[in-house]
A and B are shown apart, each in its own frame.
Chain A
């Protein structure tokens, strides 16, 4: 029951959040879906394994899904991946850390800030892993010379 409610709320949270970011109207459903799946993975994994690892796995799933959607709907990947990682993003932690700082509680603040930083790092890692995997699978020959030249 709780799981179903969590799924519903995460779907609406992600879909509504991308409205603030002005996502195209036709992609709202898919955005909600990717947010929901990412949060589901995170929610099911957190009691069993470490938060950081759960975040990496969840973002990896989000990344794969958004690459998939991006290919189907011919939209940039960022639309779907942003929606997917919104529930996972350590906004609450960043806020909490800042509140502790302002309240002169530095020990707790540093701990929370480090945690927020690590989690956002793991989100980035999850996305990068899925991107690398995608490129390895596709192996577009056009992309390689482009990358070399820009360096």
Chain B
């Protein structure tokens, strides 16, 4: 659940609720974006779980939520719940990659228009966003360093946008680039970081903030390299 981008306090809350439903009180949990420490019941030993990869997968969050809700209302037995949870963990229900890329392209185009660029910039936005996001997915699979993938993707976006504008397809270079980096940009991370901070989860908030800062830095650097070349 944490790997799928839920807020840390939601993860803590869910774990405590599940433990309560199984009569394992009082349980304690401590969650940060990179790890979970959990003790169920007073006598049990605490367990530590390391979280390696962080993405956003709302479907998993929603299904775990369903399961915990059912478990708490005793509509589900413990074994069934465990089976379902492992299924959620292993079965990959993501959209196919081409759908994701198409969605990224479409939303980039829309963003380009929403940021007060003309309608003529819609198509370049779609193209750049699609290229950038597919480059990001490919590179992220190939090299596991996320910031490198973001850097190269934004470099490509800048390059394509520059080419398109210089042959006269689009008009506002800045707007096109901003629109098409939106699928990569860590806006959501920043907001989640502030929310975590406000909820009193200082460690999670700061580490999320650092991650967001690095991502923004990678993207900004990618585009800036291009501007220094031309």
Contact = CB atoms under 8 A, between A and B. Distances in A.
Interface residues of A, number: 52
A89 B188 CA distance: 7
Given A91-B185, A98-B217, A16 B107 contact: yes
Nearest to B60: A22
Given A149-B26, A150-B16, A124 B191 contact: yes
Given A92-B182, A146-B16, A78 B10 contact: yes
Interface string A115-151: 0110011011101100000000000000000100110
Interface string B168-191: 000000000111011101111011
A102 B188 CA distance: 22
Contacts of A74: 66, 69
Q: Summarize A's interface: helix, strand, loop or mixed.
A: helix
B95 interface: yes
Given A16-B107, A21-B58, A120 B220 contact: no
Contacts of B140: none
A103 interface: yes
Interface string A87-125: 101111011111101110000000000001100110111
B34 interface: no
Interface in B76-124: 93-95, 99-100, 102-104, 106-107, 109-111, 113-115, 119
A10 B58 contact: no
Interface in A20-45: 20-24, 27, 39
A117 to B, nearest CB: 8
A90 B190 contact: yes
A89 B111 CA distance: 12
A13 B104 CA distance: 9
Contact of B61 (A79, A123, A124): A79
Contact of A87 (B58, B61, B109, B114): B114
A95 B106 contact: no
Most buried by B among A6, A13, A90, A95: A95
| Most chain A C-beta atoms within 10 Å of own C-beta, residue among B6, B104, B182, B227 | B182
A21 B57 contact: yes
Interface in B1-22: 5-7, 10, 12-13, 16-17, 20
Nearest to A122: B194
A86 B62 contact: no
B223 A95 contact: yes
Contacts of A19: 95, 99-100, 103
Contact of A18 (B58, B113, B119): B58
B224 interface: yes
A123 B107 contact: no
Given A17-B103, A124-B198, A149-B16, A86 B188 contact: yes
Given A23-B59, A86-B187, A17 B107 contact: yes
Contact of B114 (A10, A90, A99): A10
Contact of B100 (A14, A20, A96, A103): A20
Interface of A: 5-6, 9-10, 12-14, 16-24, 27, 39, 74-76, 78-79, 82, 85-87, 89-92, 94-99, 101-103, 116-117, 120-121, 123-125, 127-128, 146, 149-150
Closest 8 CB pairs of A and B: A98-B220, A89-B187, A91-B187, A91-B185, A102-B224, A13-B110, A19-B103, A9-B110
5 contacts: A12-B106, A22-B94, A82-B188, A95-B178, A120-B191
